[in-house]
Amino acid sequence: MNEQTAIKFTPKDFATDQEVRWCPGCGDYAILKGVQKALADIGTAPENVVFVSGIGCAARFPYYVETYGFHTIHGRAPAFATGIKLAKPELDVWIVSGDGDSLSIGGNHLMHVLRRDVDVNYLLFNNEIYGLTKGQASPTSRMGTRSPSTPAGSVDAPLSPCVTALGVGARFVARGIDRGQKELPGILQRAHAHKGASFVEILQNCIVYNDGIFDSVTDKSVAEFSQIHVQHGEPLLFGPENRMGLHLNAKAMRLEVVELGEGGTTIDDIIVHDETNKMLAQMLAGMERPDFPVAVGVLYNNPAEMTYEAAVTRQNETMAHQARIKTMDELLRSGSTWTV
């Protein structure tokens, strides 16, 4: 439980009286459930939590969480969240955004909130489509996707959210699945515990405009082969009875799928997950079906010594001390700061 409170919360404490209005069967319902459970387990009092969103289906989130919230403008949620964290560093700040909101008009803001390492938790709901505006192709849509904006099939190479986050300097990167209720709350708790910007991609089904796009990963009939749940310090195993694993081909510097017992392969040939290893995280983030399982869990976690807002606060205190000004009122009344 969080030290801020001695009260034990339940998921219901983070549910509002608002009617949840997503399409029936939308993966966002499952994510909302997972977030509310994570918030209860984290234990921060609702009045010390803020959710910030942009535009899109995911942006409804602040209405459904019994905390403070801001429904802002397209792609700019990270800018608002940065301001909130600078003004009130003690708050838990969460950003909720979709793949279009985050990686198209909001790509610039996503990049800077991650590279600056602002202590916020960024949740990207990835359904590989624009849902709110009727199903156009998004930056994560696969090549060949037919949509109102790409009737002949998309020719754009898609972005991988986790690979992108690692590339711009994120120090915590994880992936979850909307229906993965056993794993998702724990991943969110890990993101919250990280000091600095945490980034979590959540694979989310859009039942109307992109239904079943992740079936090759999430369907129960294939999940054993199509998902690998990574844990720090544990060998990267998957498949029935964990008979499959990932081997690092050191000569080619690439991961390979191997089967224990085949060709003399033993557990010693399986690479052990090290979430502080950025190169390994990049390889795990880039794995795709059908050649590899999709990595789920914390891919990278390597916090910096100081977060952005802590550095800004220290700098402000230093400048104020040097100027011998203790308050904003003293600064405003201190006279001219330059000579014409």
Query: For residue 290, is the peptide bond before it cis, meaning its omega torsion is within 30 degrees of 0?
Result: yes
Give Dmax (Cα) for the chain: 80
Residues 247 and 303: their CA atoms lie apart, in Å, by 27
Which residue carries 């690998």 as its tokens? Answer: 228
Query: For residue 24, is the peptide bond before it cis, meaning its omega torsion is within 30 degrees of 0?
Result: no
Q: What is the CATH number of domain 11-213?
A: 3.40.50.970
Beta strands in the chain (DSSP E): 49-53, 68-71, 92-98, 121-126, 172-177, 198-203, 227-230, 237-238, 244-249, 254-259, 294-301
For residue 89, give both structure tokens. Answer: 């560093």
CB environment 26-59: b (16+ within 10 A), e (fewer)? bbbebbbbbbbbbbbbbebeeeebbbbbbbbbbb
Q: What pTM did the predictor assign?
A: 0.92
For residue 14, count other CB atoms closer than 10 A to its CB. 21
Query: What radius of gyration do the chain's Cα atoms show?
Result: 22
Domain residue ranges in the chain: 11-213, 305-340
- pLDDT tens track, the chain, 340 positions: 455 556 899 999 999 999 999 999 999 999 999 999 999 999 999 999 999 999 999 999 999 999 999 999 999 999 999 999 999 999 999 999 999 999 999 999 999 999 999 999 999 999 999 999 999 999 999 999 999 999 999 999 999 999 999 999 999 999 999 999 999 999 999 999 999 999 999 999 999 999 999 999 999 999 999 999 999 999 999 999 999 999 999 999 999 999 999 999 999 999 999 999 999 999 999 999 999 999 999 999 999 999 999 999 888 888 766 666 666 677 677 777 666 6
3-state secondary structure of 45: coil
